[in-house]
Chains A and B, each alone.
Chain A
């Protein structure tokens, strides 16, 4: 149980285009999802917290107009990287807190974004 499905697993896009990444909680309702960014051999950096039915909370230094987050339902949160540039190339991972037991937080499998 407690699976978060993230897709696409990898995507290549041209500079200036937008890319949407989806995360779905498959067997539980996730009122809150977290979006992270990870550079090679570095830890996860929290970008924003996505709340169902309300605006996302962005961490300091994260451009909310570039990284659009939508959490329209209890099982789906999306991250759209708008007007992507090569420096946006990274590994993006979503996570949700498991609302039962002591399973902590569960993570999606990540999306490798390459902007060319």
Chain B
């Protein structure tokens, strides 16, 4: 079993739709959680960063963490064609500065 599971998609939605992206994890040592957006042939860029259960909002993006269920989500409101990209969840533990563990990424296409 992978430490982090993410539905690879692809996911296709019409412009303006609400998008829900999800990851589950098995390692209870994970303490901080991130969402990255990666455009084709580019490096990932950080969208959201959180280290507690609950919701964190930034513009059209909301990150949700449920540590008891080991489940995290990213919601995108009023999705735009420019949101079309691959979204990667990532998580790490404060006890190890070594690395992040990434999900496999969900490919999202927002149709105009």
Contact = CB atoms under 8 A, between A and B. Distances in A.
A107 B34 contact: no
A108 B46 contact: no
Contact of B44 (A42, A93, A102): A93
Contacts of A95: 43, 100
Interface residues of A, number: 25
A4 B107 CA distance: 24
B100 A107 contact: no
Interface of A: 4, 6, 32, 34, 41-44, 46, 49, 57, 91, 93, 95, 97, 102-110, 112
Interface of B: 6, 8, 32, 34, 36, 41-46, 49, 51, 88, 90, 97-100, 102-105, 107
8 contacts: A34-B98, A41-B105, A42-B105, A43-B104, A44-B44, A93-B43, A104-B34, A105-B34
